[in-house]
Structure 1
Amino acid sequence: MTDARSRMPLTAMHWGTYRAETRDGRLCALHPFEMDVDPSPIAGGFIGALDADSRITTPMVRQGWLQDPQGRDRERRGADSFVAVSWDEAERLVAQELLRVRQAHGCGAIYAGSYGWASAGRFHHPQGHLRRFLNLLGGHVGSKNTYSLAAGEVITKYAVGGFDVAAGGTTDWRTLVAHCETLVAFGGMRVTNGQISQGDVAGIASARPCSRPSAQGVNFVNVSPLRDDMLAELSADWLPIRPSTDTALVLGLCHTLLQDGLHDGAFLDRYTVGFDRFADYLTGRADGVVKSADWASGICDIAAERIVELARRMATTRTMISASWSLTRQDHGEQPFWAVIALASMLGQIGLPGGGFGLGYSAVNSMGLENTGLHFPPLPQGRNPVTDFIPVARVAEMLERPGETYDYDGETRTYPDARLVWWAGGNPFHHHQDLGRLRAAWRRPDTVIVNDWCWTATAQHADIVLPCTTPLERRDLCMGGRDPFVIAMEQVAQPPEGARDDYDIFAGMARAMGLEAAFTEGRSAGDWQRWMYEAGREAARATGHRPAGLRLLARTGLAPGRSAGETAGSLAGLPGRPEGQPAAHAQWPDRDMVRPDRVLRLRGLPAASVVAGALRVAGQVPAGRAAPDLEPADDQAALAAGSGGVQPVRQGQRIRAGADRPG
């Protein structure tokens, strides 16, 4: 790298850390950070989007919402035109509506949406600012869990004490390749997923975590319908499993261990509870169904001989079991994680270097990185007087069925009547399931407010849109417990005149409602960042670590995180016999992990070739290219299906994609 490039300012994004090159005051390139051995090109697409036609440069209010103060013309939400207003007017309208909803329905009628992923920086986290502001107003309904692995997050609370416990104890890649002999990956370990992380991914090789020759002593097993869910260079054994039948395969492996006497009874006695009942389930004493390799083979389409061979290999070698987050996003998605934990417990290698289990290797870049031991506090959000919440992926159900009951985590809960939805950071119309249903439910609340920097689908379905800055247009600190560096994120681009940082947006709203002093505490954005960093440094000193001071960080742009050293193995610090955990759901061990009706339905799935042969992609988006920069493919004809059949698509033509859904 040239000296000139090393002097370029740093910025961090969810896809990595980059050196920003400007020319004539404009950002023209993002160069990979010199310590990043496998940089992602995705961030390059951000540059062209900064001043694209889709950029929002002034507060906007939906016309029907303005003209119909009673009904708000909600049916037009998502198809209406918008009116530009000043920031003063936007603040007045928002304050007026918040007070109306609070007075008429209480703060339990305000849903603070948002989902994160709007910035890799620690301070400019829109969700944190939104919740801090609403807590000062009197509270809000929040959400729990993630779209990525909600069922897994809930079940690990009872199996091992929580997902944070499981994730925090994940064996790092260096330890794994040094000690592991067999790595069995249920759901594979797709490296493309590892291009992203909640923080930055500076200087990390984990996009290709286990590559030859570094992992030449590890035998990989890819349990996935897709062969390329693991790098070809790993020469993995491929078990092409029928989708959604991983639990059956794991049970077949567990039964083989039990039948052959290969399970670690001493480990099970010392560190687990409930194995006697699980053994009865495996042998069929509980329900008359023996969960043998033959039984599993008929469900997952993997030969019984291969199941037996794999179980024996896992028992006689140092084995790491990986389970992808995707396994939890299915009917009864808690079962694969629960079963994998049971299998790892039977092997008795939890806590040994290179052994045990890992939940989400390569799901995001941070999984498998060494824990630096540094923990920086977020922006304080204060206390939320409203204790109600919904599981994060139930937003459509909440809007459809206010006042109705639902089951969650062993409780019967009631959906709140959300009259106002505020989304800051995130795009539910991107990541939610069944968008047609969400769009219909989205018309139910009185008012939807969205902070965004461009016209996403969520912004287009809002009533009031507040334009915010992008991560490239503000200063921040990127720092997390698994990030190898603390990055001083410089402002490398100028925002449009009408855009504001989320902190300034909420400070303005707080000022309009007489809450400014409580919201800002007299601190600017820079003051808060200094407070957060110094609080983290103070906590680090208690562990004997001395992170770089802010002056040095500002001068160099980065400071190394402390490596906590080699981890013994996954969950090495797991306490013995967590007897208090399963008691909350004592009935769960008696539930069928693979019910007969599920087996029948899974056997009716179409063959993969039927699906693959039905559609052909007209062209792939080149890595790092934003949509406005794409060029037409000369050698392929793009087609669109509509009511008139399949029609050719003209260059520049806009197409609305959708699908008919039964029920």
Structure 2
Amino acid sequence: MTEEYKDGPFGISRRHFVKASTALAATTFFYNPSARADGTGTPATGDTSPADERVVPTCSTFDCGGKCDIRAHVAGGVVTRITTLADDELDPEMPIMRACVRGRGYRKFVYHPDRLKYPMKRVGKRGEGKFERISWDEATTLIADNLKRITAKYGPASRYVHVGTAVSGGTFSGDSMVRRLLNLTGGYLQYYHSVSMGNTAAATPYTYGVAASGSSLDTLSETPLVILWGHNTTETIFGHSNHYYQKMKQNGTRFIVIDPRYSDTVSSLADQWIPLRPSTDNALMDAMMYVIISENLHDKAFIERYTLGFDEASMPEGVPANESLVAYLMGAKDGIKKTPEWAEPITHVPAQTIRQLARDYATTKPAALIQGWGPQRHNCGERTARGSTILATITGNVGVKGGWAAGYGGDASRKFTTGPEMPDNPVKEKISVMNWVQAADDASKVTPQDGLTGAESLTSNIRILFSHAGNYLANQNPDINQTVRVLEDESKIEFIVASDLFLTPSAKYADLLLPETSFMERWNIGETWGTASYLMLSEKLIDAPFETRTDYDWLREVAAKLGVEPQFSLGRDEKQWIEQIWEATRKSMSDENLPTFEALQVQRHHLFKSKPNIAFEDNIRDPQNHPFATPSGKIEIFSKRLYDMQHPEIPALSHYVPAHEGPEDALAEKYPLQLITWKGKNRANSTQYANPWLQEVQTQKLWINPLDAEKRGIAQGDSVRIHNDRGVSLIPAEVTQRIMPGVVALQAGAWWQPDANGVDHGGCANVLSSSRITALAKGNSHQTMLVEVAKA
């Protein structure tokens, strides 16, 4: 039987879900806030909960903003509805996230009639979407045979496991277990770098010596001023930030939000919105520093005791004159003082606003400048990350309660499980996650200068690729059109295995397409990110539909056909792996009093109620015994390590340098609009795009300012053509003052929908984004792109 998916992403029989759909239709679809975790409480009007219903606290294992508490109501083998914990169930010492709109909509995702239901192999051209049904035995044999053939011919470095964010929010995932299998059979080509925050994580240590520079949010309860710099926490659902920010707002904290877009965070929190041209963050930071220092508002005692490179008297040896921060700001070398008037035409932030912002930040004690991950997804992202750390330093907001050290912002006190036992990988070379297309196309293009580590060259192109719940392959990857040209060439990657719930744009490029289970159909432990710190059991609630199987289940078959099943599984089923991981975590965290696995199945979660964590508190309290982990032992405003690189895009002070495809690039004459993306509240990256309820929450449109729309004859709702030299997308226009002039915006994560001419009709920004990597981290610059928009 051949299935063809040319006209849409789905097309699978609904027969298996009749029972589930009927059960769903018979129940109320609305959250009853009075329903409690034990199923008690005043029933909502029309509530017809079955007598055998059980209510199970659980969580998803997507790479989402946090592990929100969802209460799955299970009856007759079906999840009939989802509620969440009530307000009075929140623990103020470590609140669990209450289910957001994504969490409330999981049933329509899990019970979607168009889920993949059986293994299939490709029968048409790669990317056409033509597959035929095969048995699981045939599928696992294909994988084992291709692993043997390709490894024998090209070596283990030809094997690659791609990013899989729809499974990486749990401790036990298909992508981690395929890595375990590959390590047992020779190894694989690894990647480093995080697409989410890799640039800022790489840059922050050049100031502080370590990446994690964030405190726990309970330290901000009495902070009078918070500056959210490109941090759209209300829509990204970033950990449990919203819980604390709303409490702070109610207690009188003033919020300033810097963002080109009037986001929901601006709407819900901001006392002031400052729109800023993308990629000009450092110009604004430079001008703020100029005001702070020239008006004598900097913290002299803090700077003198803890820092290196502020002025000429505090510079490291071997550096010529006029390289310090003060010298740069006062124009000692270039004759240009970095005044607000200098920054205004670059940033489009009025000079008087820059002065007010600088004064507010410097004179409010303490103040927290918290940077999101959007600004560092530009090709100047490392400079922006370090610039924020310098601002925090000169105002004395590092290592103090209520302050914030800026930079990466991750909380080092967060706790994680040990994860599954992982054998050593015999393959030592690594590539940046941004190098994989080059490594598949021509491995000789990937050099140490381009991001290769552990070797001077690669021994092979990528020849076999595994994508587990990963739509990065041909949707979230930058410059999709370039990427799919490599994927379509079967002389490059010879075998692609995709395991997923749906036929995503990436899954269409599989040679073997496998139907995965949802989080409701397997065992796992949810791990938080952001600044939350708790672990939650994600229990198997329902049987897997159709012929879907967990990745671990079919990987055991592959391991058997490779002759390593006993070493791979260690005789454990999926639940036994979860139990082993939990018990190993208990031993490693003996001081945290984790419950036994048996008790966890009753308790459901464990909250780490640690004392408030202030980043770098010990370094500031006792610098003699707790120096910073930098070469100098101090906060390095000027980084001699960066200076010695002598790279124009990596200045030792992380000051403003015009970005490639920024507003000062000559290309702006042809493509005058800067396109940015944002992470919306209705999906995590591209996960849940197929959920019909969440498609209603927010429709895919191009935000464009009325001034830019009028110049182009564009009216509200018109179909517009967004284009540059890399691609074209057609999408309706949202004419709104919520985006600043000169900038347009698309929600990230829309599924790519090309027509016969390659024109995208889904509003997928990555047909327009650049594959240029950043200079220091070798990271992504998805956000830096110039476009033009015309009425279609």
TM-score, structure 2 normalization: 0.70
Is 1:419 matched with 2:468? no
Match of 2:269 among 218, 222, 234: 234
**Residue 398 of structure 2 contacts residue 404 of structure 2 at CA under 8 Å; is this kept in 1?**
yes
Closer, same or farther: CA 80–122 of 1 in aligned 2, 3 Å: closer
2:657 aligned with 1:595, yes or no? yes
Secondary structure of residue in 1 paired with 2:425 = coil
SS at match of 1:449: strand
Residue 247 of structure 1, CA deviation: 0.8
Partners of 2:674 and 2:84 lie apart in 1 by: 38
Number of the residue aligned with 1:247 = 282
For residues 617-636 of structure 1, the aligned pairs below 5 Å read 627-628=691-692
1:461–1:103: structure 2 CA closer, same or farther, 3 Å change rule?
same
Question: Does residue 546 of structure 2 align to residue 494 of structure 1?
Answer: no
CA contact (8 A) 2:754 2:760 kept: no
Look up the SS of the partner of 2:115 in the other structure.
coil
- Which residue matches 1:401? 442
1:223 aligns with 2:258: yes
**Distance apart, 1:396 and its partner CA:** 2.5
Q: Secondary structure at the match of 1:422?
A: strand
Q: Decide whether aligned partners of structure 1 residues 235 and 514 sit closer, same or farther in structure 2, where only a CA change above 3 A counts.
A: closer
Q: Indicate the residue corresponding to 1:377 in structure 2.
A: 418
* Correspondence 1:184 to 2:222: no
The alpha-carbon deviation at position 223 of structure 1 amounts to 1.4
1:1-16 map, 5 Å: 1-2=35-36, 4-5=38-39, 7-13=54-60, 14=64, 16=68
- SS of equivalent residue, structure 2 residue 70: strand
Q: For residues 641 and 437 of structure 1, what CA distance do their matches in structure 2 show?
A: 23
Partner residue in 1 for 2:296: 261
Q: Once the 2 structures are TM-superposed, how far is the Cα of residue 292 of structure 1 from its aligned partner?
A: 2.3
Whole-angstrom CA distance in 2 between matches of 1:247 and 1:325: 15
Alignment of 1:76-87 (within 5 A): 76-87=125-136
Amino acid at match of 1:564: S
User: Cα deviations across residues 204-239 of structure 1 (Å, max 9, x unaligned)?
Assistant: 5x3353226655332222111223353435342222
Counterpart of 1:186, as a letter, is W
What's 1:298 paired with? 345
The aligned counterpart of 1:658 is 760
CA deviation after TM superposition for structure 1 residue 45, in Å = 3.5
Alignment of 1:438-453 (within 5 A): 438-443=483-488, 444-453=492-501
Corresponding residue to 2:570 among 505, 521, 534: 521
**Other structure's SS at 2:571 match:** coil
Q: Which residue of 1 aligns with 2:631?
A: 580
**Superposed, which structure 2 residues align to 1:302-313 within 5 Å?**
302-313=349-360
Q: Residue 438 of structure 2 contacts residue 446 of structure 2 at CA under 8 Å; is this kept in 1? A: no
The 5-angstrom pairing of residues 132-171 of structure 1 reads: 132-163=180-211, 165-166=212-213, 170-171=214-215
Amino acid at match of 1:245: T
Letter in 2 for 1:84: R
Distance 1:492 1:311 in 2: 53
For 1:651, the equivalent position in structure 2 comes to none
Distance 2:641 2:697 in 1: 58
Task: State whether residues 246 and 300 of structure 1, in contact with CA within 8 Å, keep that contact through their aligned partners in structure 2.
Answer: yes
RMSD: 3.7
Distance change in 2, residues 1:181/1:45 (3 Å): closer
Rate the CA distance shift 1:554–1:590 in 2: closer, same or farther, 3 A. closer
Match of 2:606 in 1: 560
Could you report, residue by residue, the CA deviation over 1:17-40 in whole angstroms, capped at 9, with x for unpaired residues?
A: 211113332222122234467531
Partner of 1:72: none
Q: Distance in 1 between matches of 2:769 and 2:236?
A: 31
What one-letter code is carried by the residue in structure 1 that aligns with 2:424? R
Q: Is the Cα contact below 8 Å between 2:119 and 2:512 reproduced in 1? A: yes
Alignment check: 8 A CA contact 2:156 2:188 kept: yes
| Rounded Cα–Cα distance in structure 1 between residues aligned with 2:349 and 2:524 | 50
SS in 2 for 1:533: helix
Contact 2:38–2:55 (CA under 8 A) maintained in structure 1: yes
Work out whether 1:390 is the aligned partner of 2:438. no
- Aligned counterpart, 1:437: 482
CA distance in 1, matches of 2:221, 2:294: 30
For the residue of structure 1 that corresponds to 2:244, the secondary structure is coil
Is the Cα contact below 8 Å between 1:181 and 1:217 reproduced in 2?
Answer: yes
Give 3-state SS (helix, strand or coil) of 2:59's partner.
Answer: strand
Residues 382-430 of structure 1: CA deviation (Å, up to 9, x unaligned): 1111112221133323323321145346979646511111112321133
Q: Secondary structure at the match of 2:263?
A: helix
Cα-to-partner distance string for 1:431-478 (whole Å, 9 max, x where unaligned): 222222221121231111112222112221100122221111012222
Matched-pair contact (CA < 8 Å) for 1:422–1:449:
yes
The reply on whether 1:465 has 2:513 as its aligned counterpart is yes
Ranked by relative contact order (alpha carbons within 8 Å, sequence separation 6 or more), the top structure is: 1
SS at 1:227 equivalent: coil
| Structure 1 residue 344 displacement after superposition | 1.1
Question: Quick check: 2:400–2:617 contact (8 Å CA) kept in 1?
Answer: no
Letter in 2 for 1:568: I
Q: Unmatched 5+ residue regions in structure 2?
A: 1-34, 41-53, 90-95, 316-322, 621-625, 633-638, 676-680, 702-715, 722-728, 733-752, 762-766, 771-792
Q: 1:262 corresponds to which letter in structure 2? A: L
> Residues 409, 308 of structure 1: CA spacing in aligned structure 2 closer, same or farther, 3 A cutoff?
farther
Aligned to 1:39: 99
**What does residue 50 of structure 2 align with?**
none
Please say if 1:116 is aligned against 2:218.
no
AA matched with 1:171: S
Paired residues of 1:108 and 1:141 also in contact (CA < 8 A) = yes
Q: Are 1:58 and 2:112 matched, yes or no?
A: no
Name the SS of the counterpart of 2:308 in structure 1.
coil
Question: How far, CA to CA, are the matches of 2:154 and 2:162 in structure 1?
Answer: 18
Q: Which amino acid aligns with 2:518?
A: T
- Matched residue SS, 1:587: helix
Aligned-partner residue type, residue 382 of structure 1? P
The equivalent residue for 1:100 is 149
Considering fraction of residues, name the structure with more helix: 1
* Structure 2 match to 1:126: 174
Q: Does structure 2 conserve the Cα–Cα contact (< 8 Å) formed by 1:188 and 1:229?
A: no
Contact 2:388 2:406 in 1 (8 A): no
- 1: CA distance, partners of 2:391 / 2:378: 20
Deviations 1:545-601 (A, max 9, x none): 312222222223x24323112223566557535443855444358745333676762
Q: 1:251 and 1:100, CA in 2 relative to 1: closer, same or farther beyond 3 A? A: same
Contact 1:42–1:625 (Cα < 8 Å) also in 2 = no
Residue identity opposite 2:107 in structure 1: I
CA distance in structure 1 between the aligned counterparts of 2:540 and 2:630, rounded to whole angstroms: 51
Letter in 1 for 2:522: R
Unmatched runs of 5 consecutive residues or more in structure 1 = 65-75, 198-203, 362-366, 613-619, 649-653
